[in-house]
Structure 1
Amino acid sequence: MASATGSMSKADRASRWPVRWRGLRGRVMAAFVLGAGLVALVLAGSVYGISTSYMESQRVRSIERAVNIHAELLRLRLDDPALSGDEAIAELALPTGTIAMLHRGSTWSIADADDGITAAPPVVDPTVAVPQAATRVELAGVPYLRVWAPVDDTAVLYEFAPVQELDSTLAMLRTILLACAALSVTVAAAVGAWAADRALSPLRQVSATASRIASGEQDLRLAHSTDEDLSTTVNSFNAMVDALQRRIERERRLVSDLSHELRTPLTTLTTSATVLAGHREELSQRPRAALDLLVEETSYLRGLLDDMLALARAEAGIHRSEPAPLSLAELLGHLLSSRDSAPGLLDVRDEGMVRGRRMELERALVNLLANADRHGGGLVGARVEREGAEIRVIIDDAGPGVAVADRTRIFERFVTASRATAGTGIGLALVAETVAGHHGTLSCTDRPGGGARFTMSIPAMADFCHTIAN
């Protein structure tokens, strides 16, 4: 048996990409992206919060140590009565950008490590004699940390340390963390796409194999898998296909047996009725009426058997010939000529070249023409035309038409639109099955001007192979 191990082509996968986003593939990728996004958000927030708290606390402690040291130095220098506050604070070695203010008595002394900064500090309460926690303030639009410490009973030292560099560092850290989070989400999306592709690959293989089996490659099977999780599915699928194939083979044998077993007695019965009909004039009236009924019923039974066997063969996929190029216009013209139809009934607008089985299509056209005569009040027109990639055969009749509710039902078995007309009820079902076997469609509509219109559409020969491949 053949095995299906190949995957879909890149073009097929690209054409189905938008659809797959809305299916299982999209949900797998969404789960990866959401999970990675949540983890990245929690990690980035935690790292940023911890880093901000640690760096700010370190900065505050360093400033507090510096202001306490400077306050102690000022206390020693201010013990000299001849030294003013401005002279004492000017001798402090301040870090770059730091502003120091000494409040002594009712006067302020200011020392600025950068000569360019001359902004006045905010108003502070000089009556507080205990150290206060660092407070963020702005001087000329620049962020500072304000820390102060007592020098003695009459003096307080204030220092304003710039934190612009700290804020820049934190901003850079925030940008890096956001970039890392975005990168992790992108990587998660790529990993999710890869994981979804790997996870769905067996399903795509099963789908492709099932489509090929349905198109006629009944010997095709899935290749054996060493994966414990997939082997059960593969084995079950192959077992199901084997069971279906055995069932189809049994049906084929049944059709063959029925064809052989029923045709022989029916042929004998028909022959006997024909022989008796040759001596019809020798019979009295009542045996003659019985003979007419026998001939009529045997003819009906023979037509019913032929239609049932043909329908069973079509449903079981039993074909007496292989598809070959043929002209629907020529085939329809030949059938109309054999019926002695008027030449003007046929309207050929396209040669109607298709690739099909001649005997099956001929039977389908015969059934459509017979349906027009038997149920539609007679054939009034037949047309062959091309519509896009399809060849259409249109059969018009002069009957009362088909009710909208019955336009689909009449293609089922043993269904007729009118009970007053004779028929097996299988002819249109056989036509529908034959057209479906040629990858075509069959429909019933109203004919302009009254009556019914049956339209049989079959892919043109140039598009036939492409239709089967899809």
Structure 2
Amino acid sequence: MFRSDRGCAPIPLRSLRGRVVFAFASSASLVALILVATVFMIGRDYMESQRVRAVERGAEAHAELLGTLLDEPGATGATALGALSPPAGTVVLLRWNSEWFSSEPEFDADPAVVLPQGHGKRGPGPTERVTLDGRSYLRTGVALGEKGGVLYEFAPLAELEATLRMLRDVLVVCGLGAVAIGAALGVWASRHALKPLRQLAGIAARIAEGEHAIRLPRSRDRDLSTTVDAFNAMVDALQQRVERERRLVSDIGHELRTPLTTLTTGVAVLTRNTEELPERSRQALGLVNAELDHLRRLLEDLLALARAEAGIHRSDLEPLSLADLLTNTLAARAYDTALLHVEDDVVVQGRKIELERAVANLLENADRHGEGVVAVRVGKEGLRAVLTVDDAGPGVPQADRARVFERFATVRTGRHSTAGTGIGLALVAETVAAHRGSIACLERPGGGARFVVWLPAAASATGFAP
């Protein structure tokens, strides 16, 4: 059996539904085991006691009849025993005048073998089970008055044993049926008991995808209403916090636009007259110009990220050929289109402007931090389109490959990091997530970093499976 990573608990018991089903099945098994064992023991004891009493009564009746027959003149043990009509399979032994007589010639009548030790001294002894020639018998004995005779009867137990076996099999089948019913009830109960959790998980997933206005419906169940109200209150607080952060970023961006535009205009005027400035002033102007360009790009990225998080889009969803989109993006930014390798032209349903910006950010990241783009590929894996961008840099350490998609993330490697805004890859990740895709930073075979984007492929060139 497969085992979990923690301890030795079976994998199915790691799920709540599995534990509920296991609890129902275990309870049903325990109850069934107790009932089966109890009913079988009670039934066995009852049937055996009834069989013992029947055999004893039959032996007493035969002993009384033999006593009458043996009192007749000229009677012998063989003739008296032959007058009996015992039940089928029953063997009768008679000791009379120190001789032994048997109703079955093939039956071993050796007292040392078939009778209890000391039977001649202490009387016939109690009724008990014996095994002779591989068959079970119930042996009982009755003394024949004061003449010293003893009658032994060996009643077969084959029919009783067959009845007990049938009873055992029926009880086992009933027990297994009870366990199956208990497991089925466990499945039914777990399905209904976990339905609110599945609904909660679905709502949480939709909220994580950006549907912040959705809430759990009110429940009439008093046990669930508290959880529903707490969850909805948490989502309300989360939405309010997100909205405040979005407004803050948007307000800061808009407030910075005016002074930034003024500074950019002033620096542009000074730049046109750099020949009139001293050398040190020209150097200072160059630094100011570079920082203004960095600040402008940072502001644009922040505003784009705020729009993406707020669900504000600059274009509509439409079927897009990734090969065409990459070709146009490479050409528009003066990249060699020979870098593009189309393994499979895949159509996706996306927003053209946002996807072009995401691809441009990946290309810019490779140039700024990875010593240039080596290759751009597009292909298909199952129902997903795959886009990869390879660079020639030193790569990204394993521990930082998830962190590079965070805002303002810094990675202490040999990759150049002074020219970026720290927002580009975060904006790429947000755009990919908005298109229900995923992104990962991997190691390129041969060295360097490889950024891989997976997007849902459209059902056809003209439609999309949402």
- If the length of structure 2 is used for normalisation, what is the TM-score? 0.83
**Pick from 123, 142, 146: which aligns with 1:149?**
142
Secondary structure of 2:153's aligned partner: strand
Secondary structure of 2:315's aligned partner: coil
The aligned counterpart of 2:365 is 371
Counterparts of 2:80 and 2:377, CA distance in 1: 116
Q: Structure 2 matches for 1:189-228, cutoff 5 A? A: 189-228=183-222
Q: Where do 5+ consecutive residues of structure 2 fail to align? A: 1-10
Cα displacement (A) at 1:133: 0.6
The aligned counterpart of 2:438 is 440
> What amino acid maps onto 1:145 in structure 2?
L
Describe the shift of the 1:44–1:390 C-alpha distance in structure 2 as closer, same or farther (beyond 3 A). closer
Secondary structure of 1:245's aligned partner: helix
> What amino acid maps onto 1:148 in structure 2?
G
Describe the shift of the 1:307–1:82 C-alpha distance in structure 2 as closer, same or farther (beyond 3 A). same
Cα displacement (A) at 1:278: 3.1
Contact kept in structure 1, 2:12 and 2:19, CA below 8 Å: no
Describe the shift of the 1:315–1:131 C-alpha distance in structure 2 as closer, same or farther (beyond 3 A). same
**More displaced stretch, 275-284 vs 255-264:** 275-284
**Pick from 113, 116, 119: which aligns with 2:107?**
119
Counterparts of 2:376 and 2:66, CA distance in 1: 117
**Which string of whole-angstrom CA distances, capped at 9 and with x for unpartnered residues, describes residues 376-413 of structure 1?**
44445444444544444444445555555554444333
Is the aligned partner of 1:51 residue 2:49? no
Is the aligned partner of 1:132 residue 2:125? yes
The aligned counterpart of 2:227 is 233
Contact kept in structure 2, 1:441 and 1:457, CA below 8 Å: yes
Contact kept in structure 1, 2:369 and 2:416, CA below 8 Å: no
Contact kept in structure 2, 1:390 and 1:460, CA below 8 Å: yes
**More displaced stretch, 169-178 vs 370-379:** 370-379
Describe the shift of the 1:466–1:209 C-alpha distance in structure 2 as closer, same or farther (beyond 3 A). farther
Contact kept in structure 2, 1:435 and 1:442, CA below 8 Å: no
- Percent same amino acid at aligned positions? 52
Describe the shift of the 1:348–1:177 C-alpha distance in structure 2 as closer, same or farther (beyond 3 A). closer
> What amino acid maps onto 2:426 in structure 1?
A
Contact kept in structure 1, 2:100 and 2:109, CA below 8 Å: no
Counterparts of 2:445 and 2:54, CA distance in 1: 97
> What amino acid maps onto 1:63 in structure 2?
V
Cα displacement (A) at 1:41: 1.6
Describe the shift of the 1:234–1:290 C-alpha distance in structure 2 as closer, same or farther (beyond 3 A). same
Secondary structure of 1:45's aligned partner: helix
The aligned counterpart of 2:318 is 324
Describe the shift of the 1:56–1:31 C-alpha distance in structure 2 as closer, same or farther (beyond 3 A). same
Secondary structure of 2:155's aligned partner: strand
Counterparts of 1:69 and 1:404, CA distance in 2: 95
Q: Structure 2 matches for 1:79-90, cutoff 5 A? A: 79-90=71-82
Taking only aligned residues, the RMSD between alpha carbons, in angstroms, comes to: 3.3
The aligned counterpart of 1:3 is none
Counterparts of 1:233 and 1:432, CA distance in 2: 32
Is the aligned partner of 1:459 residue 2:456? yes
Cα displacement (A) at 1:63: 2.4
Describe the shift of the 1:466–1:62 C-alpha distance in structure 2 as closer, same or farther (beyond 3 A). farther
Cα displacement (A) at 1:310: 2.2
**More displaced stretch, 33-42 vs 454-463:** 454-463
The aligned counterpart of 1:14 is none
Contact kept in structure 1, 2:319 and 2:464, CA below 8 Å: no
The aligned counterpart of 2:253 is 259
Cα displacement (A) at 1:79: 4.0
**Which string of whole-angstrom CA distances, capped at 9 and with x for unpartnered residues, describes residues 333-360 of structure 1?**
3343334444544444554532222222
**More displaced stretch, 44-53 vs 62-71:** 62-71
Describe the shift of the 1:267–1:233 C-alpha distance in structure 2 as closer, same or farther (beyond 3 A). same
> What amino acid maps onto 1:44 in structure 2?
V
Contact kept in structure 2, 1:36 and 1:188, CA below 8 Å: yes
> What amino acid maps onto 1:445 in structure 2?
E
Contact kept in structure 1, 2:442 and 2:451, CA below 8 Å: yes
- If the length of structure 1 is used for normalisation, what is the TM-score? 0.82
Contact kept in structure 2, 1:435 and 1:456, CA below 8 Å: yes
Counterparts of 1:400 and 1:140, CA distance in 2: 88
Counterparts of 1:162 and 1:425, CA distance in 2: 94
The aligned counterpart of 2:3 is none
The aligned counterpart of 1:423 is 420
Cα displacement (A) at 1:39: 1.5
Secondary structure of 1:221's aligned partner: coil
**Which string of whole-angstrom CA distances, capped at 9 and with x for unpartnered residues, describes residues 121-161 of structure 1?**
34245623534111333556543322222222432222222
Contact kept in structure 2, 1:129 and 1:156, CA below 8 Å: no
Contact kept in structure 2, 1:104 and 1:154, CA below 8 Å: yes
Contact kept in structure 2, 1:392 and 1:456, CA below 8 Å: yes
The aligned counterpart of 2:28 is 36
**Which string of whole-angstrom CA distances, capped at 9 and with x for unpartnered residues, describes residues 149-174 of structure 1?**
22224322222223332222222222
The aligned counterpart of 2:284 is 290
**More displaced stretch, 370-379 vs 164-173:** 370-379
Secondary structure of 2:121's aligned partner: coil
**Pick from 269, 278, 289: which aligns with 2:272?**
278
Contact kept in structure 1, 2:458 and 2:465, CA below 8 Å: no
Describe the shift of the 1:339–1:54 C-alpha distance in structure 2 as closer, same or farther (beyond 3 A). closer
**Which string of whole-angstrom CA distances, capped at 9 and with x for unpartnered residues, describes residues 284-319 of structure 1?**
444444333332222221112222232333344443
**Which string of whole-angstrom CA distances, capped at 9 and with x for unpartnered residues, describes residues 14-55 of structure 1?**
xxxxx9786222222222222222222222212221222222
Contact kept in structure 1, 2:376 and 2:389, CA below 8 Å: yes
Contact kept in structure 2, 1:346 and 1:383, CA below 8 Å: yes
Counterparts of 2:77 and 2:342, CA distance in 1: 117
Is the aligned partner of 1:412 residue 2:406? yes
Cα displacement (A) at 1:213: 2.7
Secondary structure of 2:100's aligned partner: strand
> What amino acid maps onto 1:357 in structure 2?
R
**Which string of whole-angstrom CA distances, capped at 9 and with x for unpartnered residues, describes residues 165-213 of structure 1?**
2222222222222222122112112212111211112211212222233
Q: Where do 5+ consecutive residues of structure 1 fail to align? A: 1-18
Counterparts of 2:422 and 2:63, CA distance in 1: 113
> What amino acid maps onto 1:369 in structure 2?
L
**More displaced stretch, 174-183 vs 288-297:** 288-297
Secondary structure of 1:127's aligned partner: helix
> What amino acid maps onto 2:271 in structure 1?
A
Is the aligned partner of 1:60 residue 2:85? no
**More displaced stretch, 197-206 vs 420-429:** 420-429
> What amino acid maps onto 1:440 in structure 2?
S
Counterparts of 1:142 and 1:400, CA distance in 2: 87
